[in-house]
Amino acid sequence: MSEEAMECPPRRAARAGGREARRAQRAAPLAEHLRPVRPGLPGGRYRPLADADMARIHAAALDALEVIGLANAPQSGVAVLTGAGARLGDDGRIRFPRALVEDMLAVAARDITLCARDPRHDLHLTGSNVHFGTAGAAVHVVDAHTGAYRDSTAQDLYDAARLVHHLDNVHFFQRALVCRDVLDNFEMDINTLYACCAGTTKHIGTSFSEPDHVDGCMALLHRIAGGEKAWRDRPFVSNSNCFVVPPMKFAEESCVTMEKLIRAGMPVLLLSAGQAGATAPAPIAAAIVQTMAECLAGVVYVNAIRPGHPAIFGTWPFVSDLRTGAMSGGSAEQALLTAGCAQMHRFYGLPGGAAAGISDSKLPDMQAGWEQAITNTLAGLSGLNMVYESVGMHASLLGFCMESLVLGDDIVGQVLRCVRGIEVTEETTSIEAMKAVCLDGPGHYLGSEQTLRLMQTEYVYPALGNRMSPKEWVEADRPRLLDRATARKNAILAAAGPQIDPQLDAAIRRDHSIYFR
């Protein structure tokens, strides 16, 4: 046996020992400020629109509001808007003078904080700070192993909230599933709200099926918060409000709901969700124009009721596959639409949100991976404050997959590392480590002080992604990514208890029919 061959086993053992030490070091918890990725990292490096493009889109949106206006405002909305200076035409449409829009933009809330029940999870929507979370109204749950789709339930919503509570890179939980086992609409709104609150202390987003349900749901929130004042001091739920029905019409019931919630102290997401080529113009730029016009009408509406009320500029234009008319949420065009909207949020200086991470694939497969990665990456790099629907969504929002939610935590972690970018400082460009390795050292950086010091703070390691060598992979019995995701999902759910005091939970269950355990 050659000397080189005899030396191989000790070197392998040394490498293995070093690898175990590095794994142990990575497993040690880091202080929040040292983590390589975290909520609220500033983005904005990707800019698909030039400054002149944004000015042109803004001018066209103002033209649309002044010339076309919006139809179908409720009577209460007509009174609010005309009282602020909008004009009611003979055709019933509300039109918005430029000066009115500009005046309301001047008083609109900026640099807002979306509170969580646990202040550690507060979301600071300022500048280009980026946060990823869930959203949607999927009516099916996807079995990732069989491919079967079944009706979603209140228990599924609660389980999804519990998973999000324990996923570091998913920063908020907006209702992602419809409780289809709850047939009464008021009970469904109560179960939706309570399943989210029981599952996580992160910020929550929800919607209400009817305006008359607001008072009962607010009473539930006051109980959870510890009283109405405690709620108003730190509102930990926001209303996802589709106040418009594109193109350029108000949604009457949703507007009434929004009015009530503004007065109840709840932040609102002004959500315009046209579909390019169907309910919005086919050109990507024109789809952005219509969305800006609709959301600017919402800014006027909110601030005419309560100047400076916290509202998220919710530009959610979607894409159609123009061959079929079907939604194409995972397309490159969707990624561009969302990134363009994020730029317009910063043009106005408003906190904004839009959709990304949606997959048109029916299962968590390779198509889902590229769709979720591309759209989330562009959303993050564009500096979108709130990236909704970023994890778990399949079949163009019709299906939700728990394994995909867990896998999405890994995807978003890598996206956030891209958002963080490259730090170029005197320390990070110093050649001292190079001198030590190349002139006097072993000729590699694996054991250097700099490498060991930065391996946790400079690099992100996937929880589930497999980086084994082929040999290690075979020796480990060829672990499959989906099996690992299922195992992590099951482990989290087995350990994740409710986030509501047991006595309060018992009292709420006495007063309401709660459909999950």
Residue 2 pLDDT greater than 50, yes or no: no
Q: Over pLDDT 90: what percentage of the chain?
A: 88
Task: Judge whether 167 lies within some domain.
Answer: yes
How confident is the model at residue 22, as a pLDDT?
Answer: 55
Task: Judge whether 77 lies within some domain.
Answer: no
Res. 19 pLDDT band, cuts 50 70 90: low
For 121-125, the CB contacts below 8 A with 24+ separation are: 121/39, 121/171, 121/172, 121/201, 121/202, 121/203, 122/203, 123/39, 123/40, 123/171, 123/172, 123/203, 123/386, 124/40, 125/312, 125/351, 125/385, 125/386
- As for how many domains the chain has, the answer is 1
Task: Judge whether 268 lies within some domain.
Answer: yes
Task: Judge whether 458 lies within some domain.
Answer: no
**pLDDT tens digit sequence for 20-32:** 665 665 566 777 7
Task: Judge whether 441 lies within some domain.
Answer: no
How confident is the model at residue 36, as a pLDDT?
Answer: 87
Instruction: Return the CATH number at 239.
Output: 3.20.20.480
**pLDDT tens digit sequence for 167-220:** 999 999 999 999 999 999 999 999 999 999 999 999 999 999 999 999 999 999
Task: Judge whether 35 lies within some domain.
Answer: no
How confident is the model at residue 32, as a pLDDT?
Answer: 78
Q: Are 291 and 70 in contact (CB under 8 A)?
A: no
**pLDDT tens digit sequence for 386-415:** 999 999 999 999 999 999 999 999 999 999
Res. 13 pLDDT band, cuts 50 70 90: very low
How confident is the model at residue 24, as a pLDDT?
Answer: 61
Res. 17 pLDDT band, cuts 50 70 90: low
Res. 35 pLDDT band, cuts 50 70 90: confident
Domain that includes residue 365, residue range:
104-421+504-511
How confident is the model at residue 453, as a pLDDT?
Answer: 87
Residue 359 pLDDT greater than 90, yes or no: yes
**123-125 and 112-114 strand pairing:** antiparallel
Task: Judge whether 53 lies within some domain.
Answer: no
Residues near 453 by Cβ (< 8 Å), separated by ≥ 6?
none
To the nearest whole number, what is the mean pLDDT of the chain?
Answer: 94
Q: Are 228 and 274 in contact (CB under 8 A)?
A: no
How confident is the model at residue 33, as a pLDDT?
Answer: 75
Residue 8 pLDDT greater than 70, yes or no: no
Task: Judge whether 493 lies within some domain.
Answer: no
Res. 259 pLDDT band, cuts 50 70 90: very high
